[in-house]
Structure 1
Amino acid sequence: MERWAGRVALVTGASSGIGAETAKVLAENGMCVIGCGRNVTAVQDLSDDLKSRSANGVLHPVKCDLRKEKQILDMFEEIKSKHGGVDVCVNCAGLGNMAQLLTGETEEWREELDVNVIALCICTREAFKQMSERNVDDGYIIHINSASGHRIAQGSNSYSFYAGTKHITEGLRQELRGRNSHIRVTAISPGLVDSGFHNKMGEEEVIKRKSMFKWLESSDIADMVKYVLQSPPHVQVHDIIVRPTEQLA
């Protein structure tokens, strides 16, 4: 991670779960991390903890509702004015409303699209713009995807619409290649993670599923982000699917 020391990483969804753990790991490894989330107090608490432990890098909290484009654009302007621009963009923020295709509410679908697709694309576009303006040709864009971006697991049709929001990375890779850019993009697709994401299933259902086998921890996915960033510039890690050992699908 030495070559990333002092460079700027944006991590969305940094107030909890995978986003918080990723922001922590990157800051511990010397990066200047911008952690955005609606619950900016939680990001600030994490930042204060890192300072108390004298982490090699620093975490700057930014309050941002990713459903609102103006807030995203304002955040990128702040990053540019205070830190020069983004070198790494980790799109961790995600939303699963359990809104089915046949019975879901339109607003639930729209919210998932706004966070999982539109916000991710805006952040990716603006990060690429800042990299290009500074001639950064070794930048990195990482999408925290989902195993649902690769299959519809039997018995999980509550996430059927959500699964449809998880197919972006290959198109982005091809656009970058078309520009002869060496900026890389990777999708990391977790299975079941003990991150709070699945709490909408209900407490009893979550407890039941966790009793069947050990779920992944948010730190396991943050380790995947670190692994990807450590890969040499000529290596394109396109997709990582990581599941609990005992998860069936």
Structure 2
Amino acid sequence: MERYAGRVALVTGANSGIGAATARALLRRGLEVVGLDKRIDRVQARELKDAPGRLYPLQCDVSCEENVPRAFKWIKENLGGVDVLINSAGICRENLPTTGQTAEWRHTLDVNVLGLSVCTREAVQSMLDRGVDDGFVIHICSIAGHIMPFDPLCSMYHASKHAVKALLEGLRKDLVARNSKIRCGEISPGIVKTDIYNNLKKYSLEALENMRTPMMEPEDIADAVIYMLSQPPRVQVRTDNGRKRCR
């Protein structure tokens, strides 16, 4: 992690859950962390007074395309550019394929797929424009991106996470074709105790706890992010039936 000390990391969805835990983990390792979220007040509350890194809360709705370039413009003008991107912002809604609301489907895709894609494009362009060849892009995906829906209520969420997995592989091939050493990866956890379940009824946190469903903590995923970033440049961590491969 020493090579990233003092460098700029952008974490989306930084106000709670995996995003907040990841931001804190990066701050402890000396990175300058831009915490992107609609709820900037909650991002500000995550600042660690004793951490060597500094937190920069930045208000941005990743589902609104014009918001994202504006955020990257601020980062360029004030911090130079993004070296590490953690795409953590994500939402889940319970909607049946036969009766779901179009607006909620669209919102899921706007955040989980298009927002992630726009942030990735802007971050990678920032790295390429500045000649950064050791940058890193990490998508926080889900086990839902590797299996079929276990309940039709979750169909659109599963579809969005399958898209994230496909987009990651496309990004990897794009970077290889450019002869770039910028790395990318995705982390696909199971159930993590986060606010993503606040808007759910059948699969609320309370319901999952009543079912005695094992859950991970956000810090467990932040640890996985740190592990990926800490690997030497010759190592590319991939999710492929649980195996790790070199690039």
- TM-score, normalising length from structure 2? 0.91
Q: Which amino acid aligns with 2:208?
A: R
Number of corresponding residues: 237
**Is 1:160 paired with 2:159?**
no
Task: Say which SS state the counterpart of residue 89 (structure 1) adopts.
Answer: strand
Q: Is the 8 A contact 2:145 2:188 kept in 1?
A: yes
Matching residue's letter, 2:148:
I
1:100 Cα deviation (Å)?
2.5
CA distance in 1, matches of 2:149, 2:67: 35
The residue aligned with 2:193 is 194
Q: Which residue of 2 aligns with 1:128?
A: 124
Of residues 112, 118, 124, the one that matches 2:114 is: 118
Q: Which amino acid aligns with 1:107?
A: A
Task: Give the counterpart of 1:79 among 66, 75, 81.
Answer: 75
Tell me the alpha carbon deviations over residues 160-204 of structure 1, each in whole angstroms, 9 at most, x when there is no partner: 111111232111111111111111111101110101212233388
**Aligned: 1:142 with 2:141:** no
Tell me how far apart the structure 1 counterparts of residues 88 and 25 of structure 2 sit (CA, whole Å): 14
Tell me, in whole angstroms, the C-alpha distance in 2 between the residues paired with 1:184 and 1:241.
20
Counterparts of residues 17-166 of structure 1 (less than 5 Å): 17-47=17-47, 50-51=48-49, 54-154=50-150, 156-166=151-161
Mapped to 1, the partners of 2:241 and 2:216 lie a distance apart of 12
Q: Which aligned segments of 4 or more residues in structure 1 are displaced greater than 3 angstroms?
A: none
Choose 203-212 or 80-89, whichever is displaced more: 203-212
Could you tell me how far apart the structure 1 residues matched to 2:208 and 2:240 are? 23
- Provide the aligned C-alpha RMSD in A: 1.6
Secondary structure at the aligned position of 1:36 is classed as strand
> In the superposition, relative to structure 1, how do residues 204 and 177 fare at CA in structure 2: closer, same or farther (>3 Å)?
closer
* Structure 2 counterpart of 1:206: 205
Structure 1's 197 and 180: CA in aligned 2 closer, same or farther, altered over 3 A? same
| Cα distance in 1, alignment partners of residues 223 and 240 from structure 2 | 12
Moved more, 106-115 or 209-218: 209-218
What displacement does 1:241 show?
8.2
Distance between the aligned counterparts of 1:233 and 1:204, measured in 2?
A: 40
* Identity within the alignment, %: 45
- 8 Å CA contact 1:100–1:160 kept in 2: the answer is yes
For residues 68 and 27 of structure 2, the distance between their equivalents in structure 1, rounded to whole angstroms, comes to 22
Counterpart amino acid of residue 152 in structure 2: N
Q: Distance in 1 between matches of 2:240 and 2:221?
A: 10
CA deviation vs aligned residue, 1:223-247 (integer Å, no higher than 9, x gap): 00000000110111122889xxxxx
Amino acid at match of 2:6: G
How far is 1:214 from its partner?
Answer: 3.2
Q: Counterpart amino acid of 1:35?
A: G
Q: How far apart, CA to CA, are the structure 2 residues paired with 1:205 and 1:186?
A: 29
CA shift, 1:71, in A, is 1.1
CA contact (8 A) 1:23 1:33 kept: yes
